[in-house]
Amino acid sequence: MNNHNYTRQSTGKLMVFIFEGDKVKPIMGAKVTITGHNQNVTQQSNESGQTNTVDLPAGEPYFEYTVNVSASGYNDVKFEGVQVVPNITGIQEIQMTPSIRRDNFRSTEEHKVPPHKLTQPEAIKPDIDPIAIPDPQPQPLPLPQTRPEGPLILIPEYIIVHCGAPQEPAPKYKVKFTDYITKVACAETYPGWHREALIANILCITSYTLNKIFTQAYTGFDVTCLIQFDLKYNHVQTTYKQIIEIVDTIFNLYIKHPDPVKNQPLLAEYRAHYTRQKPCKLGQFKSQELAKQGYNHQDILNYFYDLCYGPLKIASAAGVIFQGRSSTPPETILKEGSSGSDVRKIQVMLNEISKNYSKIPKINADGKFGSITTKAVKTFQQIFNIHQDGNVDFRTWYKMSAIYYSILEYR
């Protein structure tokens, strides 16, 4: 009998989500092959475009796998460098392109997920003093169709990401605001970090991004995807459930500017290795250390920033924008037993979404939140990685609205 020296191998989980458009049309029956680290796993996507969650060997900080996808009517896709992190569920979103050729002659699109920022040397970035950034000045405008009611921070539906130096021509991506924050957070933090450290880092990312949008730092786009100028954005980044959950919960929060006269969010910068010093920036590895010592996200932010600005305040955006208009979420959490026009609105949205996501049951849009509506909400939450409680809170409402408006736009 052989004496094997068994060592316990860490594993991570991976789910592949395959769709057309901006998650508007899930692709069912796609063949997905995951290879690497002596693994060769084949899966098929379900009616929601998702594979089963697969256990894969993983090591610190992550193992890289190759994912190949083929689906009838679409170009084949090959993703290299898909990141699987120990004890974490990763989601690799793959957007497919309809093929104009017959299946036998389809071309293959190849993509590589770049290495995680924290495994790379620190980028050299110019120091910017957030205090010196002026608020943009008002300009004379004709009477608009809609007029804001004061200096408000609104969450845009999309942001435009310029993948090049600001002054140089480069491709641009139109990215949902929450997807942008999620992918930056997944590219610039480790998903296994303490929740409070992740929240502190994500608040910096959101605040930084909203500052760039509010101050109109660039013409023709909102941010660059280059770390030398802004935050690192990879369109093909592997995402992680822990980070998606936090971003979906706090994407409308930002750090207020310490100057009460200014309306812009704080340009909250961070570096991988940084200590409490001037100019103030958050130190990412130190933030994890502090969280493990019991600091909450507010304590962590103050640890780094109060040296320059005093205690920081977290504020909530005044609203969210869909199709260029400010949208108001329901005033209360909608749940079984609720009724009224807000319930009817979410029923209409769910019915529209269910035309593409057939797992979501059809509802009679009668404005009454009954058991079928609860089932539809839970199914929606399951597909989009939201805790399945069947209630429509701000987070579920926002995700539902985002998918609904994307579907309308895609038609």
Partner 1 sequence: MYYNTHFNPYFNNVIAHRLVNPDQIVNLEGFYVDIELDNGQKICNAKLDYVSPEPDETQAIYGDVTYTIFSAGQPYTYQTNTRKITRISQSGVPGAVCSDGMRSCKF
Rounded CA separation 316/80 (Å): 38
Task: Tell me whether residue 210 or residue 280 sits nearer to partner 1 (CB atom).
Answer: 210
- Site residues for partner 1, 321-380, by CB under 8 A, read 321, 323-326
- Read out DSSP for 339-360? BSHHHHHHHHHHHHHHTTSTTS
Identified binder of partner 1 from the candidate list 44, 97, 277, 364, rule CB under 8 A: 97
Using the rule CB under 8 A, is 139 a contact of partner 1? yes
**What CA–CA distance (Å, rounded) separates 243 from 183?**
9
Question: Which part of the chain contacts partner 1 (CB under 8 A), choosing from 84-92, 152-160, 277-285, 309-317?
Answer: 152-160
Residue with smaller CB distance to partner 1, 63 or 214? 214
Give pairs for 408-411: CB < 8 Å, separation 24+: 408/352, 409/323, 410/21, 410/22, 410/24, 410/25
Q: Which stretch binds partner 1 (CB under 8 A): 42-50, 54-62, 218-226, 386-394?
A: 218-226
x/- map, 46-85, partner 1, by CB under 8 A:
----------------------------------------
Shorter beta-carbon distance to partner 1: residue 148 or 337: 148
Least separation in angstroms between residue 193's CB and partner 1 is 27
Measured distance CA(287)–CA(285) in Å, rounded: 5
User: Cis omega (within 30 of 0) on the bond before 144?
Assistant: no
The smaller minimum CB distance to partner 1, of residues 151 and 311, is found at 151
Between 135 and 306, CB nearer to partner 1? 135
Could you tell me which stretch among 26-34, 137-145, 239-247, 341-349 binds partner 1 (CB under 8 A)?
Answer: 137-145
- Least distance to partner 1 from the beta carbon of 139, Å? 5
Nearer to partner 1, 221 or 369 (CB): 221
Instruction: Give the span between the Cα atoms of 254 and 272, in whole angstroms.
Output: 20
Task: Using alpha carbons, select from 316, 325, 338, 315 the residue that is nearest to residue 401.
Answer: 325
| Maximum alpha-carbon separation in the chain | 87
DSSP E strands: which ranges in 239-359? 239-240, 253-255, 270-271, 282-283, 314-316, 319-322, 325-327
Binding residues for partner 1, rule: CB under 8 A, are 21-22, 95, 97, 109, 111, 135-142, 144-148, 151-154, 157-158, 160, 169-175, 214-216, 218-221, 235-236, 263-264, 321, 323-326, 409-411
